């Protein structure tokens, strides 16, 4: 019995880059596998890590930006044929993520929409998203079973919207219990990622230890509270000074400060949370050759008395730590 983290992808932002996959992590707890975020290439990274799609139990989405959900369709649909056993279809893959926001956020004079896509439902939640995925792939789901055996498509997925709106509005600071079964307790809080509301961070507690995934956030007190005493904190990291040197102006950087945690801040987050190990992920800039791993670690680890690790695609950690 053990809990194992497998970092599947570590790139920040939607743009594909060479040498890093999009943000995704897997957590193996005994026989079950949980995935946090489904960025670019995550189904391939899942297979590449030697993980078994028949053991995929649940997917947790931090928020509904494309870099976190772009390969959710593949994560559900590619292994569909394997989702069966002696007793028929396997239990549906559970998908958890933010509910619809209360309203569509407005922009400002500089950053604003020109066209509103899907005006009837311009800000769908996770259940809406999965419903639309199934609708969009209805041809595959309805036609492929006519030529090869497929488990009942109706048993493929079950979605739970997480209502973190109250937390996002500051009405409560209490983490939402997302799931609590067979020794895995998952809790979430709303974090601060610009106008992406709600955006969530997740904490997993098992008999072997605890892991927290920041999602995308600026420095956030509720995340620090959620991560208290965790064994591992997987946290996104940006280097604003690099971006400044590469043409991002001050106004844009000020905006980004409401979206992301800078490399000079993340060590303080880990220290205040009292975690044992900080694993950097979802890098901005995302290109592996932009900033050496040692530099990320050196700068991120300032002010943190635990271990700082530059996350990379394929990194593994086993709990309890030996
Ligand atoms: Zn992101």
Instruction: Spell out the per-residue pLDDT of the chain, length 322, in tens.
Output: 699 999 999 999 999 999 999 999 999 999 999 999 999 999 999 999 999 999 999 999 999 999 999 999 999 999 999 999 999 999 999 999 999 998 899 988 888 999 999 999 999 999 999 999 999 999 999 999 999 999 999 999 999 999 866 555 555 567 888 889 889 999 999 999 999 988 999 999 999 999 999 999 999 999 999 999 999 999 999 999 999 999 999 989 999 999 999 999 999 999 999 999 999 999 999 999 999 999 999 999 999 999 999 999 999 999 997 7
Cα 12 to ligand 1 centre (Å): 6
Q: Residue 204 in 3-state DSSP?
A: strand
Give the separation between CA 124 and CA 118, rounded to whole angstroms. Answer: 9
Distance 287 CA to ligand 1 centre (A): 14
- pLDDT value for 166: 54
Strand order in the sheet with 24-29: 157-162, 93-98, 56-60, 32-36, 24-29, 3-9, 316-319
In the 8-state DSSP scheme, what is residue 58?
Answer: E
270 CA distance to ligand 1 centroid (A)?
Answer: 19
Give the model's pLDDT for residue 321. Answer: 79
pTM of this structure? 0.96
> Within the chain, how many helices (H) and strands (E) appear?
11, 16
* Helices 263-273, 293-300: crossing angle, 10 deg rounding: 50
Provide the β-strand partners of residue 59: 35, 95
The answer to whether residues 251 and 235 touch, using CB atoms and an 8 Å cutoff, is no
Distance, C-alpha 234 to centroid of its chain: 10
Q: Ligand 1 center to residue 65 CA distance, Å? A: 7
3-state SS class at 130: helix
**β 209-213/232-238 pair status:** parallel
Compute, in angstroms, the gap from residue 44 CA to the centroid of ligand 1. Answer: 19
**Short-list 124, 112, 5, 121, CA closest to 69:** 124
24/289 Cα distance (integer angstroms): 20
Looking at residue 163, its pLDDT comes to 85
Distance CA(154)–CA(97), nearest Å, equals: 20
Distance CA 214, CA 40 (A): 18
Contact 215, 62 (CB under 8 A): yes
Comparing CA positions, the residue from 96, 90, 49, 89 lying closest to residue 69 is 96
Asked if residues 68 and 62 have their Cβ atoms less than 8 Å apart, the reply is yes
Closest by alpha carbon to 7, among 280, 285, 284, 291?
Answer: 280
pLDDT score for 193:
93
Distance 146 CA to ligand 1 centre (A): 38
From ligand 1's centre to the CA of 303, what distance in Å?
25
Which pLDDT value is given to residue 170?
A: 54
Q: In what order do the strands lie in the sheet with 232-238?
A: 176-181, 184-191, 199-206, 209-213, 232-238, 277-284, 307-310
How far does the centroid of ligand 1 lie from the alpha carbon of residue 61, in Å? 11
Residue 63 Cα to ligand 1 midpoint, Å, equals: 8
149: CA distance to ligand 1 center in Å? Answer: 37
pLDDT of residue 164: 64
| Coil, strand or helix at 291 | coil
Cα–ligand 1 centroid distance for 216 (angstroms) = 5
Q: How far, in Å, from the CA of 203 to the mean position of ligand 1? A: 18
How remote is the CA of residue 184 from the centroid of ligand 1, in Å?
Answer: 25
């Amino acid at each position: 019995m053990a809990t194992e983290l497998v970092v599947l992808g570590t790139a920040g932002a939607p743009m594909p880059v060479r040498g890093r996959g999009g943000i995704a992590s897997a957590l193996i707890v005994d026989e079950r596998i949980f995935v946090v975020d489904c960025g670019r290439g995550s189904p391939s990274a899942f297979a590449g890590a030697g993980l078994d799609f028949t053991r995929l139990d649940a997917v947790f989405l931090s928020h509904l930006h494309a870099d976190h959900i772009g390969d959710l369709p593949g994560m559900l649909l590619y292994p569909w044929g394997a989702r069966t056993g002696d007793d028929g279809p396997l239990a549906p893959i559970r998908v958890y993520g933010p509910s619809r926001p209360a309203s569509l956020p407005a922009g400002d004079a500089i950053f604003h929409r020109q066209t509103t896509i899907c005006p009837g439902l311009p800000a769908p939640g996770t259940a809406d998203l999965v419903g639309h995925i199934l609708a969009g792939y209805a041809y595959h789901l309805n036609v492929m079973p006519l030529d090869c055996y497929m488990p009942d498509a109706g048993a493929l997925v079950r979605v739970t919207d997480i209502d973190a709106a109250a937390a996002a509005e500051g009405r409560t600071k209490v983490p939402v219990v997302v799931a609590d079964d067979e020794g895995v307790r998952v809790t979430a809080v709303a974090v601060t990622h610009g106008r992406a509301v709600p955006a969530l961070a997740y904490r997993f507690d098992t008999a072997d230890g605890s892991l927290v995934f920041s999602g995308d956030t600026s420095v956030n007190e509720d995340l620090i509270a959620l991560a208290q005493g965790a064994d591992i904190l997987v946290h996104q990291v940006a280097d604003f000074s690099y971006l400044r040197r590469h043409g991002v102006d001050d106004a844009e950087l000020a905006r980004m400060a409401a979206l992301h945690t800078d490399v000079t801040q993340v060590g303080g987050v880990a220290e205040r949370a009292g975690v044992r190990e900080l694993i950097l992920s979802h890098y901005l800039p995302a290109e592996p050759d932009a900033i050496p791993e040692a530099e990320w670690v050196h700068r991120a680890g300032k002010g943190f008395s635990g271990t700082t690790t530059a996350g990379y695609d394929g990194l593994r950690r086993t709990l309890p730590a030996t």
